[in-house]
Amino acid sequence: MTQDIIPVTMPKFGLAMTEGKIAGWMVEPGAAVKTGDELVDIETSKITNAFESPVTGTLRRQVAGNGEMLPVGALIGVVADAAVPDADIDAFITRFQADFAASSDAQSGSAPVDEPVMMTVGEHTLRVHERGEGDGIPLLLIHGFGGDLKNWMLNHDALAHGRRVIAFDLPGHGGSSKDVGPGTLEFFADVTAQLLAQLKISQAHVMGHSLGGGIALTLAHAAPQSVASLVLVAAAGLGPQINMTFINGFIEADRVRAVQDALKYLVHDKSLIGRRMADDVLRYKRLDGVDAALRRVADACFPNGRQGDDLRSVLAAVHVPVSVIWGQEDEILPVTQADGLPGGIERHVLPDIGHMPQLECADRVNAMVEEFMKSRVFAT
């Protein structure tokens, strides 16, 4: 009875996983397994994880042996009742393998690849990740100082409904080229405008975090026609204070622990800052040109330990809807910088949240942004 034969396939442990290795079976063929029993260790480029049985039954076959590397979705084993004849199991495996081969051929031919691409924009090479499609006004995501497009990892996909959503690495950051020119907000806003032009986007919602918020405001000032609305998450430019212990600590840190200590300022729940995250940042900081780029940006944007740009007048002058989102416990840019904003601006202050609400309470931020784009933006 075919319906009693259940395939066990290579799991997907996170967005980036495309293949995995059978690091070691923990259950012998013929053994009974229950849902949730550890079945097999799967090794990926990042982690090794025990894969738990999705079903109860008897492990009839280990289709993939220890050490085999297989794509996500490939058949690794078969669970069925002990009464199912071997011949049925064999037939099931043959059919599954044929179907899987056919579908993966079709995918490799046509499916769009959900990966960042490198784009030449003026004198810069930018790493750009575009998701979603549709007629909605596109949304552009601008990360902050020392960050990269992965800062939006919990927002990017969630917001990509009915519109293009573009995240990118600013010059000097992530996988983009490391020349930051004068390192000013005007410079970054200019590169951002060039990127929009290259993507053939005449107008976009612009969501910026921290320094990226300052860039979004600068863009709204320099090229108002290109901005449909602004979502400013703990944005730069709304007050003079900035935590230079973080900025300098981030620049100087050359060991995982030091990076970890610096990153802790970013969030209220310190347990979010793991060794992996710090290691990832350290790998970025080791790239040639990054140190000089970060110092240039810090010197240009935070001279004498204060924010050099006051963009409150820009905020007062813009004619587009604006939403300001801030964590009550922000340790980088104090939440008081969200006070005294011009009327008509939507303002969300989130309790028990630090400088990165989009990471620390992604679902709430995503819902706010979705609602804001729906309700506050007029038809064009």
Partner 1 sequence: MSKKSFRQAINEALRQEMRRDPTVILMGEDVAGGRGGSAGTQDAWGGVLGVTKGLLEEFGDTRVLDTPITEASYIGAAAGAAVTGLRPVAELMFVDFVGCCLDQIMNQAAKFRYMFGGKARTPLVIRAMFGAGFNAAAQHSQALYPLFTHIPGLKVVIPSSPYEAKGLLISAIRDDDPVIFLENKVMYDEEEDVPDEPYAIPFGEANLTREGRDVTIVAFGRMVGLANQAADRLEKKGISCTVIDPRTTSPLDRDTILECVADTGRLVIVDESSPRCNMATDIAALVAEEAFDTLRAPIRRVVPPHTPVPFATVLETLYLPSVDRIEAAVTATMAHRVAEKV
Q: Is 28 in the site for partner 1 (CB under 8 A)?
A: no
Position 41 contacts partner 1 (CB under 8 A): yes
- Least Å from the CB of residue 209 to partner 1: 23
Local structure of residue 234 (DSSP, 8 states): S
Separation between Cα atoms, residue 328 and residue 2, nearest integer Å? 56
Six token digits for residue 278: 């710090």
**Does position 275 bind partner 1 by CB under 8 A?**
yes
Burial 294-311 (b: 16+ CB within 10 A, else e): bebbbebbbeeeebbbeb
Q: How far apart are CA 133 and CA 262, in angstroms?
A: 37
The angle at the Cα of 307, spanning 295 to 342, to the nearest 5 degrees, equals 145
State the Cα–Cα distance between residues 13 and 51, nearest whole angstrom: 10
The mark string for 285-304 relative to partner 1 (x by CB under 8 A, - otherwise) is -xxxx---------------
Which range in 29-37, 44-52, 77-85, 133-141 contacts partner 1 by CB under 8 A? Answer: 44-52
Question: Using CA atoms, how far apart are residues 35 and 232, in angstroms rounded to an integer?
Answer: 45
- The yes or no reply on residue 97 touching partner 1 (CB under 8 A) is no
**Residue from 34, 95, 255, 347 binding partner 1 (CB under 8 A):** 255
Out of 254, 310, 339, 363, point to the residue binding partner 1 (CB under 8 A). Answer: 254
Kindly state the smallest distance separating residue 148's Cβ from partner 1, in Å.
12
38-40-43 Cα angle (round to 5): 120
Q: Single out the segment in contact with partner 1 by CB under 8 A; choices: 38-46, 58-66, 331-339, 370-378.
A: 38-46
Binding mask 334-373 for partner 1 (x = CB under 8 A): ----------------------------------------
Distance in angstroms (rounded) separating the CA atoms of residues 55 and 139? 41
For residue 24, the cross-strand partners are 41
16 vs 101, beta carbon nearer partner 1: 16
Binding residue for partner 1 (CB under 8 A) from 4, 30, 31, 48?
Answer: 48
- 88 near 160, Cβ under 8 Å? no
Q: How far is the CB of 290 from partner 1 (least distance, A)?
A: 8
Q: How far is the CB of 287 from partner 1 (least distance, A)?
A: 5
Q: Which residues of the chain form contacts with partner 1 (CB under 8 A)?
A: 23, 38, 41, 45, 48, 50, 175, 178, 254-256, 275, 283, 286-289
